[in-house]
Each structure stands twice: as C-alpha cells, then as structure tokens.
Chain A
Amino acid sequence: MKALLHNTFQVGAGEVIQLATKVDNPPLLAGYTTPPHGSKWAKVKKTNATDTREFTCPGTTGQQVTFAVSCAEAIPTGAPSKVAVYSLSFSSLTNPKDSPVNSGIAVPQGLGPISQTYTFIVQ
C-alpha cells in the first residue's frame, strides 16, 4: 500500500487493508459507506471510542475500492474540548512492512457530520 495524493492509495491485487478509527472525544459516531464500492467490510469491531474493520482489494489491475467515512460528535456542554478528532489509520495486513498511513477528520461541536472519501486503486 502506497499513499498518493488526496486520500488515494496504490495497492496490490487482493491486498487486505485494515482501517482503524479512534476518536479522542467519545462516543465514536462514524458511518462508513456500506458496502464500500468494489469490496465489502470484514472483521468489524467497535468500542465506545474505536472502530476496526478490514476490506480486501479487487484482484484485477485498474479496479478500485472507494468509500466515504462520515464523522459526527456528541460533545456535551461544558466539555473542555469542543472538537472531536477522528484518527484513521490504514495499514496493509498483506504487506505489514508497509508503513501505516494516517488520516484524520476534526468535527467541531455542532458542525458535523463531516466526510472524507478514500480510494484504493489496484496497480
């Protein structure tokens, strides 16, 4: 897995990618395009502040996986931080030596949901 520009990644055929999401200001309120275009989610695990899931990239060069992640917040009045910061970490389970790629979405109180789109192109 190699990060290109604008949330686009270059991946190998059949590569398994893990997406780990965590929020610093729980609860975690994140929606993921389901199913992701070109694949499906697997091994989804959730807690109050984390979400972990995997998907497998297509086996044909030129095909791609695309999905959006929409994040919101439920920050109570009086909390010291008025922003919920979501950290998204993409890592290749097929090629664990590849460095994980980090992305993020900060959702100020009352201004969500905020979405990012991610694309993985098989090359």
Chain B
Amino acid sequence: MQRSKIITLLFGATIISRSFCQGGTGGAAPVSDVAASNPSQTDNSGIVANLVTIYKANESVPGGLEIFQHPGTYITQIRNVAAKAAQPAATTENNASVAGAVQNRTDQQTTAPAGAPSSTSTTSTGSTPSLLSFAVESGALTQSVKGTTTTVQATVPNVIKAVNGTRFMSFYRDEPSNFLAHTLSTTSISASFNTGSSGSSTSTSSSPSTFSSATVHVDLRNHRDPRDRKWLDQWSSLSNTQLTAVANDVLGYEQSLQQQMPSQYGQWASDTQSTLAKLAATKLMSDADIQNAMSSVLCNFEKLLYSGSSQNFANDYNKALQVYAAADAAVLDKISTSFVSSFEYTFVNQASVALPKSTTQTYSIGTIAPDLSTFNFIFAGGNLLGIKGTLTANASATLFTAASSQLHVAPVRDYKISGELDLPIPPIAGSKKSTIDISGLFQDLIQEPLGQAVMVNGVSVSTRGNIWLGQGKWSIPMGSSGVTIPFSVTGSNRTDLIKETEIRGTFGISYNLDSLFAKQ
C-alpha cells in the first residue's frame, strides 16, 4: 500500500514535498506525481540510488557501513538530491557534485589542437588532460576520432605510471617532490593519423594509416586541478570552518534525536541494524537487494525520525550542509577559472599532399607541399577585473619547413592572434542562464597556403594579406525544451568570411526563430 502522506521540507528557498515510503518498503518507486508538478521536486529513487552507491563504496572499508546507523547520512542525501534537482539543467549535466561544483576542467582539449589538420578549434584551450583514459582501457593513451582523423594523446608520467600499474593518485601525491616528474606532468604529446574513414568518438578499433600531425603541449602555468598544492590552504580552510560546522551540527542533530525521541531513535537504530545484518547475510547480494534494504531504512527513518516537527531537529544540520556546499562551490570556481598559460608546438606532415595550382608560384606537377610548424602560446583565465567570465587568447606563427627547392617561399606563412571571451548571463525573466561569446581574430597571411588550408570562421582563405574578424554570439535557451535562439553579429574586412544571412557592409547579423516555433 502506498502512503498518501506528503511531507514538506524546506531547503533554503526550495520547498520539497515527498514521501520516502511511496512504492512500499520493498521498492523505490519515484514520487512521479509530485515530481511532475514541480521540477524542483525530486523522487526518492535518487536518494535510494545515492545510498546504494555509498553502500557499495563502503562495503569493503573497515567499519564503513556504520554510517548507515547515523540519521545524518540520510539527511545529507535528501539534501544532495534536492540541491541537484534545483540546479539549472545545463549545470546539472556538467556537474557531478551536489554543490553545483565545477569539477570539470573546462580547459581540457582532447581533439586535435587548433593548428592541426581537421581541427575544428579556432582557439586552443589552456591545458591538456593530466589523466588520460589509458590507451584506451589499459592506461597508456587517449584516442579520439573526429571525421577521418584519429588523435592519440598522452602525458608522459601518467603513461609510465599506467604501464607500471601504479595508482595515479599516489603518483600525484609524490610528484611535486620530483622536479622531472613535475615538469613532465605538465607536458602532453599527441599524434593524429588520417584513417580514411569516419569512426565514433570513442572508437578503439580504428587502425591509423597515415601520420598527419604531432603536437607537444606544455603547461607553463596551470593550477586547475583541485589536487594542486596551490589550493591546500583553501581546502584546509574549508575543512576547518564549514566542514567542521557540518561535523558539529551532525553530532548535535543525532544527539537531539537521542535525547528528544529516545524510544523512536532506539527503534530506528534497532530496525536499521537488523536490516543491514540481513543484507550482509544475503548470499550473492545484488544491487536490488541493497536497493530494497536502503528503501526500507529510508522509509523507516521517515516514519520514526523525520515526520512533522521532528524535521526541525535537522534545521541546523541542513543549514551547515548548505553553507558547506556554497563554500565548496566557491573554491572550485576559483580553481576552474585560475590563470593558465601554455605553449604548443604542432608539426603537420604534408608529404602526401599534392600542391594545388598557385597564383604566385611556378612548380612542376607532383611537387610536394612543405611541412608546417606552428608555435602557439595560449593564455586563459576567468573572472578578470571582477567580471565573471572566461578569457582565452592565442598568439601563433606558422612556418613552412622542408620546402621543395622549386618553391620560393619565406619561412613564415602567417602570424595570428585570436581571443574569445565567454560571459555567463544570469537568467532573465525566468529564462535559464545563457552565455555571450565574444571572439576576435587578426591574421597576417604572408604566404599563400601551400597544402593545408587556412580556415577562418569555417571558410578557406588563400588570398594573402591581413585578415580581421570579430564575432559576438548570444544563444538564449528557452524553457526546458532544449530550444535556443541564437543571435550573432560578425564583422570582417573580408565579406566572404561573414556567414550571416544579412550583411551590411562588413557586418552580418543572424537570428533563428525557427527552432522556437518548431517545437511548440
């Protein structure tokens, strides 16, 4: 029988209504009717799923399962699920943390760098993954496939450690004491191959055929890893203040229950112990067994310790969790927007590229295109001058190398400076968060491209001379349907680089309202 009672909880400004016992004690059926009426209201299956994950993680830890004897464990997961549900959808997709924590290193680039052939990037990002998904299963390399280009990438010490079978984390702890290891840990290498056929982004079966390009990437300054020692004081402060408050208040909460509701607390503790003992004795324990046990304990928690006014005992603990989550998110935001500078060298092999007809050169048929070397400095930072946003800038030069004696070319093909500013825009009139991207590029194309095309705004450029292009783009998400209305303005001294539908002089404007009406 389903219980009809709906409990109202207050988490900050979010009111959550739920019953943890709906679906019976043997299951974890979602409170779909409640959830459907309010997106911020989540089902109890999320809480049970969290508890199952925690159970499995603690199963082999000495004394780890004792946490299920503490009411605070259930309060934390109730709050975690509610906090996650309250996040905007776009944020939830990217964050695993309850705190809305920005644990993704947004500056990582796993596809071919901007200077490499087949790259779709106009601006290289600041760093490469410090950890690679181990060739692809065993731990040596990452591999990505985009179109007909396969890119494999590695950082030197992680490959060594993967081959040795040493845990990455123990390496990371030890690494700062070793200058060579530390230097190598900031270096990554990648190579791209033309496979001649498309594959999925996670393909591991592609067989590289022709060497296309190679890149060495060195982080000159990068502290965007939460484990970096630079942030030790920040984490220590978080532990000493907000997390200590959590420890104070969880103890206070549990002691309040013991003192104010001794019989109910005793009953719940006894029932929980019995349920966990039965679970532990289950032969060939399955996830369903754990889920049923957690559902039962959670339901019993509600019945005995978390109904009506007894919820008030958890108020201080809930506030402490909320304060901790906010402080944790602030630290992670600081880390994820810290200044990064990197150097990147890309070599492009054009040995198999037949030179096209040139307007400035005379050479015989079959002349091989010169190889290319690109030197690129990358700068990235966030929250500059108090503005919440991310700025990425590149300064690069591309040189012809190993040119045929028939070609009369100067060493430098082009110089380029580019930048991109991503500004998050707060929700307007109930809409979701949006982002304004402002980007600019100046390129001095000194030599005619010989081989690999010079791409600007998705357009191949072959005419020598200066190129400038500026672009502003605002994509506004509409409701929860995933529909966005894009507005963009592009200006350039070469009108063929402007892809907008309406062009006025050197500016183009585009807006697309079709997507809005298509789904309504």
Contact = CB atoms under 8 A, between A and B. Distances in A.
A33 B244 CA distance: 6
B232 A48 contact: yes
Interface in A13-71: 24-34, 37, 46, 48-49, 66-70
A99 interface: no
B407 to A, nearest CB: 43
A80 B227 CA distance: 14
Interface residues of A, number: 50
Interface in B61-98: 61-64, 66-67, 69-70, 72-73, 76-77, 80, 95-98
Contact of B239 (A31, A87, A108): A31
B290 interface: no
Contact of A104 (B64, B129, B225, B248): B64
Contact of B246 (A80, A107, A113, A117): A113
Contacts of B76: 111-115
B235 interface: yes
Nearest to A110: B96
Interface string B95-107: 1111001011100
B356 to A, nearest CB: 41
Contacts of B235: 27-29, 48, 74
A87 B225 CA distance: 23
Contacts of B232: 27, 48
B189 to A, nearest CB: 18
A26 B239 CA distance: 13
B257 to A, nearest CB: 12
A81 B251 contact: no
B54 A106 contact: yes
Contacts of A111: 50, 53-54, 76-77, 80, 98
A77 B96 contact: yes
Contacts of A34: 244, 247-248
A72 B243 contact: yes
Contacts of B67: 105, 114-116
Given A105-B58, A115-B250, A70 B77 contact: no
B58 A104 contact: yes
A79 B64 contact: no
Interface in B24-74: 50, 53-54, 57-58, 61-64, 66-67, 69-70, 72-73
A106 B64 contact: yes
Contacts of A94: none
Interface string A81-123: 1010101000000000000001111111111111111000000
25 contacts: A24-B170, A26-B227, A32-B244, A33-B251, A48-B235, A68-B72, A70-B247, A74-B103, A74-B226, A75-B103, A77-B104, A79-B169, A80-B167, A83-B57, A103-B62, A105-B58, A106-B54, A106-B57, A110-B98, A114-B76, A115-B246, A116-B63, A117-B250, A117-B251, A117-B254
